[in-house]
């Protein structure tokens, strides 16, 4: 796509303002910290509002048109020929509990930095460019995860999205109203021509193999369930083992089954029990009820289904052995997603142009891009995570790696805009 300053782009080594990006990452990462200093900005929370407000002010400073849709997705649009579908660049700014500062925020702020770099150069886009921050990508307080982008692409109806029940008894729609982010823009009012998402890898691959950039071609499948085990409360001292209906024991058996199955299934199947509550929860009462979550992932849909089936069979076995009742409720289920090969190649070419080593890879984490891929060509750019750590305050990526990734995003955007 030619434009008034395309020749300039070819000659001037276009780059984002790296120090400004790093400053904003740190500033946004300072919003939502408790007195102990840990960072949590769960979707729809006061902390989420503070982060959203800060992002909106940055989008406005960049003279983008800010809009919010009915599930709270935030869009900053660089207006151009409205007859042409926009290029969308996005991610999320909600976080997990006790989070790092890069997950999601890095992609949104790098998209903004790329737009600012283009504006500074006098670039005149012939199609709109939209920076997006999607609601509740993490899925910690409300399920499913990627809820905002899923609703945006038409994968979740509005009432179900707004009616999502929080782990804390709240309802997403009410919280969005409370924090002032239940917008008026209809779902899917923006139909992107293509979507790019820059994100930290959150895993060990790029660092272990010494690559600067990941050109992501697949996001693995995700299966989230809530398991409720009902046993019988009884006295910890007087109840013979043979007389027990111990919900805690049954839960422990399921947790170890998941690890053994995933371990013997060989990589890349993974399983995680991240939350577990005991009731009534006393040292000397055999647990009457245990509620916990199961997160299964695999890039192969058949293997993921096999895992779900094996878990279901094991649950039935344990329920019969311990004489407890076990119910499973689906919280989220997304098949593996393959990204658009043209967009993946654009990312590889952009990395090569910057002389950054790049490898194609699968994402172990879920991302908004896997939802956008349902409605337009989409792909992701990864940068390394130190020690492969994420969803942890130790999450870290070297500044020069962050800046390299943002410049590859900028070049990929320009290629797609052409
Ligand atoms: O769970 C995930 O993969 C993402 O961080 N929401
Ligand atoms: Mn993320
Ligand atoms: Mn995350």
What are the tens digits of pLDDT across the range 224-262?
A: 999 999 999 999 999 999 999 999 999 999 999 999 999
Is the alpha carbon torsion for 264, 363, 335, 143 positive or negative? positive
Q: What is the pLDDT of residue 393?
A: 98
Q: Could you report the per-residue pLDDT of 142-184, keeping only the tens digit for each?
A: 999 999 999 999 999 999 999 999 999 999 999 999 999 999 9
Mean pLDDT confidence for 325-342: 98
Mean pLDDT confidence for 389-412: 98
**Which residues have C-beta within 8 Å of that of residue 335, sequence separation ≥ 6?**
221, 301, 304
Does residue 96 sit in helix, strand or coil? coil
Which ligand lies nearest to the CA atom of residue 106 in the structure? 2
Q: Which of 217, 192, 158, 204 has its CA nearest to residue 367?
A: 217
Predicted TM-score (pTM) of this structure: 0.95
Average pLDDT in the chain: 96
Which residue do the tokens 């790049």 mark?
358
Q: Which of 106, 134, 137 most suits a substitution to test ligand 1, by most atoms within 8 Å of the C-beta?
A: 137
Half-sphere exposure of 55 toward its Cβ, with a 13 Å CA cutoff? 36
Q: Element (H or E) spanning 108, and its range? A: helix 105-120
Atom of ligand 1 nearest to the CA of 103: 5
Strands 270-272 and 337-338: unpaired
Atom of ligand 1 nearest to the CA of 295: 1
Structure tokens at 384: 């390394």
Q: Which residues form ligand 1's pocket by a CB distance below 6 Å?
A: 137-139, 145, 365-366
Q: Is the peptide bond before 350 cis (omega within 30 degrees of 0)?
A: no
**Which residues have C-beta within 8 Å of that of residue 379, sequence separation ≥ 6?**
196, 197, 215, 216, 217, 339, 340, 343, 344, 346, 347, 369
Q: Which of 199, 183, 208 has its CA nearest to residue 76?
A: 183
Å from CA of 93 to ligand 3 middle: 10
Q: Which of 137, 141, 290, 308 has its CA nearest to residue 221?
A: 308
Atom of ligand 1 nearest to the CA of 137: 6
Which ligand lies nearest to the CA atom of residue 366 in the structure? 1
Neighbours of ion ligand 2 (CB under 5 A): 103-104
Å from CA of 50 to ligand 2 middle: 19
Strands 129-133 and 87-91: parallel
Q: Which of 98, 366, 382 most suits a substitution to test ligand 1, by most atoms within 8 Å of the C-beta?
A: 366
d(CA 155, CA 305): 21
Å from CA of 50 to ligand 1 middle: 22
Å from CA of 121 to ligand 3 middle: 33
Q: What is the pLDDT of residue 13?
A: 67
């Amino acid at each position: 796509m030619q434009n008034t300053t395309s020749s300039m782009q070819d000659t001037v080594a276009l780059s984002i303002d790296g120090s400004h990006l790093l400053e904003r990452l740190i500033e946004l990462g300072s919003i939502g910290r408790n007195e102990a200093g840990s960072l949590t900005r769960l979707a729809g929370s006061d902390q989420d509002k503070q982060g959203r407000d800060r992002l909106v002010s940055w989008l406005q400073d960049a003279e983008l048109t800010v809009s919010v849709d009915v599930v709270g997705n935030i869009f900053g649009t660089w207006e151009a020929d409205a007859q042409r579908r926009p290029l969308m660049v996005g991610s999320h700014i909600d976080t997990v509990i006790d989070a790092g500062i890069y997950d999601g925020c890095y992609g949104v702020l790098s998209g903004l930095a790329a737009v600012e770099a283009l504006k500074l150069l006098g670039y005149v886009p012939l199609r709109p460019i939209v920076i997006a921050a999607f609601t509740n990508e993490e899925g910690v307080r409300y399920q499913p995860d990627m809820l905002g982008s899923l609703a945006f692409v038409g994968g979740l109806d509005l009432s179900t999205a707004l009616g999502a029940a929080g782990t804390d008894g709240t309802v997403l729609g009410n919280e969005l109203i409370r924090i002032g982010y239940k917008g008026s823009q209809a779902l899917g009012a923006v139909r992107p021509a293509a979507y790019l998402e820059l994100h930290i890898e959150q895993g060990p691959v790029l660092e272990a193999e010494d690559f600067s950039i990941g050109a992501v071609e697949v996001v693995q499948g995700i299966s989230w369930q809530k398991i409720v085990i009902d046993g019988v409360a009884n006295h910890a001292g007087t109840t013979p083992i043979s007389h027990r209906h111990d919900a805690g024991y049954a839960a422990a058996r399921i947790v170890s089954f998941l690890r053994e199955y995933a371990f013997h299934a060989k990589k890349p199947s993974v399983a995680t029990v991240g939350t577990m509550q005991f009731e009534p929860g006393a040292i000397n009462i055999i647990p009457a009820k245990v509620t916990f979550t199961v997160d299964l992932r695999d890039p192969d849909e058949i293997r993921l289904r096999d895992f779900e089936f094996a878990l279901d069979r094991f649950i039935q076995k344990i329920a019969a052995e311990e004489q407890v009742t076990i119910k499973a409720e689906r919280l989220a289920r997304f098949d593996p997603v393959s990204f658009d090969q043209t967009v993946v190649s654009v990312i590889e070419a952009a990395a090569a142009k910057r002389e950054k080593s790049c490898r194609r890879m699968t994402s172990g984490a879920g991302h908004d891009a896997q939802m956008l891929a349902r409605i337009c060509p989409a792909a992701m750019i990864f940068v390394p995570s130190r020690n492969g750590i994420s969803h942890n305050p130790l999450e870290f990526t070297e500044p020069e790696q962050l800046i390299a990734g943002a410049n590859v995003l900028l070049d990929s955007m320009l290629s797609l805009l052409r």
